[in-house]
Amino acid sequence: MKFPNWLSQRSVQKRDTIALIFRSSSNQESEYWTYSQLEAQVNQCVDYLQALGIKSGDRVGLLLTNHPRYIILVYALVKCQAVAVFLNIRLTAEELRWQIEDSLTRYLFCDQVTKAIAKNIQIDNLIMCEFLGSLTQERNLKNENINLENIQGIFYTSGTTGKPKGVPLTYSNHFHSAIASALNLGVESDDNWLLCMPMFHVGGCAIAWRSVINGTTLTLLPKFDEQEVLDAIVNEKVTLISLVPTMLTRLLRHPDRQNLQKLRAILLGGAPASRELIEQCLELNLSIMPTYGMTEAASQITTLSPHQVALKQGSSGLPLFGNRLRIVDDSIQELTNGAIGQILIQGASMMRGYLNTNIATQDGWIHTGDLGYLDRDGYLYVVSRRADLIISGGENIYPTEIEAILLEHPAIAEVCVVGICDREWGEIVAAVIVTEAKLSLEDIRQYCEQKSLARYKLPKLISIWTSLPKSSSGKLLRQNIRDRLGRSIVMAIAILC
Amino acid sequence: MKFPNWLSQRSVQKRDTIALIFRSSSNQESEYWTYSQLEAQVNQCVDYLQALGIKSGDRVGLLLTNHPRYIILVYALVKCQAVAVFLNIRLTAEELRWQIEDSLTRYLFCDQVTKAIAKNIQIDNLIMCEFLGSLTQERNLKNENINLENIQGIFYTSGTTGKPKGVPLTYSNHFHSAIASALNLGVESDDNWLLCMPMFHVGGCAIAWRSVINGTTLTLLPKFDEQEVLDAIVNEKVTLISLVPTMLTRLLRHPDRQNLQKLRAILLGGAPASRELIEQCLELNLSIMPTYGMTEAASQITTLSPHQVALKQGSSGLPLFGNRLRIVDDSIQELTNGAIGQILIQGASMMRGYLNTNIATQDGWIHTGDLGYLDRDGYLYVVSRRADLIISGGENIYPTEIEAILLEHPAIAEVCVVGICDREWGEIVAAVIVTEAKLSLEDIRQYCEQKSLARYKLPKLISIWTSLPKSSSGKLLRQNIRDRLGRSIVMAIAILC
């Protein structure tokens, strides 16, 4: 199905509405773009991209920090019918190279912050993304249609099997995600959504799609910073925000936390929110909306309404309009009695399957691997994220990826990586190791650092045990290890990196 | 693409939100249904329909006045995967029979008002629609998916070629129409849309789809009545209304017209609004939104924002999000310089083609036959509705249909039916006739009445001329006739029926 270009149409309908506000810092003047100004910049960026040789179907890597040029580049790639590959700037050159090869990325955009690492990736077409500002404001319409079935972008999720998996999301996925959110939150003419999480995460990127589809304002920060967020809310009249629990915890510690009361809604996702955090929000009368989402669903799947937060403590709410949920047992039989089982999801915002794999959706349902249950009103309670996923400060970390690297070490016999609860980060990465030869904790730490693992994936706690508890079939008893580690932290021979 | 049933999902998400309010009259208590109560009623109606033998794919005619049972029946037919055929209750039995045969309708629902005419149609399965109220409130979930590509219903438009044409609209058409409207007007949690036009017109039916998709409140009146509308606005806290100009003109004459100021928006469509009407609204500071729509587009195509009404007088606004417009000359070449030409439309809310005809959309565009132009900002100005369409009180009347009937009379040699401007009705039907034999005006009037023409199509003014002006190629010069008739009304030998 074809659609007029979203931004182009909004640039006509909402010509003088503020589309984008950028605050590089509280000390600097904010920059503003109306929809028509943004469209003009995007059209000039299209010329620039075409001059570089970028054409329909090309995969273009974005290794960029949050900046208006990121937004402009994404919208310009839409008009070039090229596919954006969203790269996590916290990964190592080796991890990035793997994703670039896997996604057949031919062009890579970097900026001042990411250029050092980008140079280590070795790609022919490495481009410093600095066009913004050098372009004049001349108007130049390029209003191609959007084919909703085409792939807009590829995001990588940490894979349960060690290697990350590419998630191709279509325009239809983004459209339906934005619509489902609009039909949940409503759309008000003064809506202004603050984007303070990385654009390379689907939760950040989705804010940009929602804003242009709704024809409302997006306020962009270069990164999360408590003071900057709280200042922006007041100075730019922000009404909506998306946060991970770690961010909200920090904001609540800030003396200006009452600024959060000005928000119409605080979307809280990316990781489970603690009971303590929810209660703090209730005391402050904040309109929080805990949500369950994932890259594969182009962000939100279920969301809890603010007025239900007190009544349905711990729930992630109901499926958004257009989404469906099922809870199944190991034989994929539906569980209807509130029993815990695997969460299956279905909806128009969801990917068809992973890139370069045969792992497609099964019977039209995505098997999330997450465990949860539904209460009698149909509200979802997520019991544990897929398998043994560790979520630290909103970043997903798969134990198997870290374990595979540790097992390559000749002196390591067995390993189990788990997440340990942490007040600020939600979880931190912990590795329990059985050694074959003499190995110091410092040796292990240094080995991990050499292994080109992104910093946030490095074990913060390493513990050496004589053996690991296993089931009769030889499977690691992760929960058992996690519990024992939690109890014995003070006693264990542990090093905090 | 599959979607969870719209009503079922809202009945979970918005269980206690008022879905439907019915005011049979100001003297009676209003009736209220929450989303969960409405869903329960619909589920019981499904049982009732299935007991009648109605099954997937069946075409079911609805010859009904506005009433909650109309809404319930439409939603229940969705769950039966049956196709609703929306029939205009103002048509004659003969006209209805034609549409019922054309659409292969197997079941016909009528009510107390329509039963007399329904009995003359001769259909095997004629059902008095009285189930509402006799049903208990027991909950009985039947949450089938909706396949967006399936046909939801068939509406008939008066055809330019004499016979009406069926317009099949899919769930996707209704969905995108509702979304486009939501992305134009916004969605606020207290939204409450008043439905006072017939449900059998797409403009009425679209209000019901929008309300359930947005999860907001629908207030239903049995029919348009100035006092009832103005009372309902205040008593039910209505925020949105759809009107045709004739209705708005009447409301503005009423002493309680200031009640209209409580509305967030007044959608004004179905026929062109006069300059005088627009100016009256501006004086009263009413948020009117003139719109250009048609059955083939599942209602709105373009809409003018309230703040543009004074600046863009006479315009029908910009295409809604997802819609596109082109103005073309006779060779279907695009006109870009503000020149007048035929209006072509494209968008996700638009039908694929007429029922039982080869007249599909051409190159993905619907050729409306309407004439208009775009100003430099892309705003549409409709110059004349398709060919010689007469719009009287919001009902579309095609001259060719009336002309064909008049020409069957042995004493009538030539005829031209045109619309004459009327303060209240927008236009009234006028017939100019050349007779071969002696024929009184009274003879003609009686002849028309025998011919099973809906009352609103009967010529209100008949004038006998000695000849009709024609072009060199023999085509009637309709504009010339209309002008001459307008000037000479007082002099002509005319009868006002």
Quick one: what percent of chain B has pLDDT higher than 70?
Answer: 92
Strands B151-157, B83-86: pairing kind: parallel
Tell me the pLDDT tens digit for each residue of A206-223. 999 999 999 999 999 999
Per-residue confidence (pLDDT) for residue B230, from 0 to 100:
97
Inspect the interface and report whether the beta carbons of B189 and A186 lie closer than 8 Å.
Answer: yes
Mean pLDDT, 10 residues at a time, chain A of 497 residues: 94 96 90 95 92 95 96 96 96 92 97 94 90 56 83 83 85 98 96 96 96 98 96 97 92 97 95 86 96 95 95 95 93 89 94 82 82 94 77 83 85 87 84 86 85 85 85 71 70 41
Query: Which residues have a Cβ under 8 Å from the Cβ of B450 and sit 6 or more positions away?
Result: none
CB A494 within 8 A of CB A464: no
Query: Which residues have a Cβ under 8 Å from the Cβ of A308 and sit 6 or more positions away?
Result: A315, A317, A379
Instruction: Return the residue in B15, B17, B187 with the most chain A beta carbons within 10 A, the one to mutate for interface testing.
Output: B187
CB A108 within 8 A of CB A121: yes
Which positions in chain B touch A348 (Cβ < 8 Å)? 1, 3
Mean pLDDT for B349-355 is 93
Which positions in chain A touch B324 (Cβ < 8 Å)? 4
Inspect the interface and report whether the beta carbons of B364 and A2 lie closer than 8 Å.
Answer: yes
Tell me the pLDDT tens digit for each residue of B160-176. 556 788 999 999 999 99
CB B429 within 8 A of CB B397: yes
Tell me the pLDDT tens digit for each residue of B295-322. 999 999 999 999 999 999 999 999 999 9
What token pair was written down for A32?
Answer: 């503003």
Where b means 16+ CB within 10 Å and e means fewer, B162-180 reads ebbbbbbbbbbbbbbbbbb
Among candidate residues B272, B307, B300, the one with its CA nearest the CA of residue B286: B307
Q: Indicate whether B466 pLDDT > 50.
A: yes
CATH number of A2-383: 3.40.50.12780
Name the residue facing A4 among B186, B322, B377 (closest C-beta). B322
Inspect the interface and report whether the beta carbons of B188 and A186 lie closer than 8 Å.
Answer: yes
Mean pLDDT for B403-425 is 85
Sign of CA dihedral B348, B349, B350, B356: positive
Q: What's the first-to-final CA gap in chain A, in angstroms?
A: 52
Mean pLDDT for B140-159 is 83
- A349 burial class (0-12, 13-18, 19+ CB within 10 angstroms)? buried
Tell me the pLDDT tens digit for each residue of A181-208. 999 999 999 999 999 999 999 999 999 9
Per-residue confidence (pLDDT) for residue A200, from 0 to 100:
95
Name the residue facing A187 among B13, B186, B364 (closest C-beta). B186
Task: Determine the 3-state secondary structure of B233 from DSSP.
Answer: helix
Q: How many CB atoms sit inside 10 A of residue B421's CB?
A: 11
Inspect the interface and report whether the beta carbons of A4 and B319 lie closer than 8 Å.
Answer: yes
Q: How many CB atoms sit inside 10 A of residue B489's CB?
A: 14
In A, what residues contact B, Cβ < 8 A?
1-4, 6, 9-10, 12-13, 15, 179, 182-184, 186-189, 213-215, 318-319, 321-324, 346, 348, 364, 377-378
Distance CA B413, CA B433 (A): 8
Residue of B nearest to A210 (CA): B183
Instruction: Return the residue in A187, A191, A217 with the most chain B beta carbons within 10 A, the one to mutate for interface testing.
Output: A187
Distance CA B419, CA B432 (A): 11
Inspect the interface and report whether the beta carbons of B187 and A189 lie closer than 8 Å.
Answer: no
Q: Indicate whether B492 pLDDT > 70.
A: no
Inspect the interface and report whether the beta carbons of B323 and A214 lie closer than 8 Å.
Answer: no
Name the residue facing A182 among B9, B10, B182 (closest C-beta). B182
Gap from B317 CA to chain A (nearest CA, Å)? 9
Reported for B481-489, long-range contacts at CB under 8 A and 24+ positions apart, including other chains, are B481/B416, B481/B418, B481/B432, B482/B418, B482/B419, B482/B420, B485/B418, B485/B420, B485/B430, B485/B432, B485/B461, B486/B420, B486/B421, B488/B463, B489/B420, B489/B461
Per-residue confidence (pLDDT) for residue A494, from 0 to 100:
42
Gap from B195 CA to chain A (nearest CA, Å)? 21
Q: How many CB atoms sit inside 10 A of residue B456's CB?
A: 18
| Predicted ipTM of the assembly | 0.84
Among candidate residues B220, B374, B208, the one with its CA nearest the CA of residue B292: B374
In B, what residues contact A, Cβ < 8 A?
1-4, 6, 9-10, 12-13, 15, 179, 182-184, 186-189, 213-215, 318-319, 321-324, 346, 348, 364, 377-378
Q: How far is C-alpha B153 from the geometric centre of its chain's CA atoms?
A: 14
Q: Which residue has the higher pLDDT, B141 or A228?
A: A228
Give me the residue spans of the domains in chain A.
2-383, 390-496
Q: Indicate whether B21 pLDDT > 90.
A: yes
Give one DSSP letter per residue of A284-308, joined into a string.
Answer: TT--EEEEEEEGGGTEEEEE--GGG
CA distances from A284 to A193, A222, A266, A303, A306 (A): 21, 27, 13, 20, 13
Q: Indicate whether B268 pLDDT > 80.
A: yes
CB A217 within 8 A of CB A21: yes
Give one DSSP letter per residue of B361-397, joined into a string.
Answer: -BTTBEEEEEEEEE-TT--EEEEE-STT-EEETTEEE
CATH level 2 (architecture), domain A390-496: 2-Layer Sandwich (3.30)
Name the residue facing A188 among B12, B13, B188 (closest C-beta). B188
Residue of B nearest to A186 (CA): B187
Task: Determine the 3-state secondary structure of A314 from DSSP.
Answer: coil
CA distances from A426 to A249, A421, A455 (A): 10, 6, 16
Give chain A's count of helices (H) and strands (E): 13, 27
User: A211: phi > 0 → left, psi -120 to 50 → alpha, else beta; which?
Assistant: alpha
Phi, psi of B166 (to 5 degrees): -80, 135
Instruction: Return the residue in A5, A6, A9 with the most chain B beta carbons within 10 A, the one to mutate for interface testing.
Output: A9
Distance CA B281, CA B263 (A): 12
Distance CA B45, CA B65 (A): 18
Task: Determine the 3-state secondary structure of A220 from DSSP.
Answer: strand
Give one DSSP letter per residue of A232-245, joined into a string.
Answer: HHHHTT--EEEE-H
Distance CA A252, CA A264 (A): 17
How much is the mean pLDDT over chain B? 89
Across the A:B interface, residue pairs with CB atoms under 8 Å apart total 69
User: A467: phi > 0 → left, psi -120 to 50 → alpha, else beta; which?
Assistant: beta
Phi, psi of A341 (to 5 degrees): -160, -175
CB B312 within 8 A of CB B288: no
CA distances from B351 to A15, B169, B294, B427 (A): 30, 6, 11, 28
Write down how long chain B is.
497
Query: Which residue, chain included where needed, has tokens 């009945």?
Result: B11
CB B19 within 8 A of CB B33: yes
Inspect the interface and report whether the beta carbons of A12 and B318 lie closer than 8 Å.
Answer: yes
Would you give the DSSP letter of residue B274? P
The beta strands (E) that lie in A390-460 are given as 390-392, 395-397, 412-422, 426-435
Distance CA B133, CA B67 (A): 12
Query: Which residue, chain included where needed, has tokens 């929450």?
Result: B34
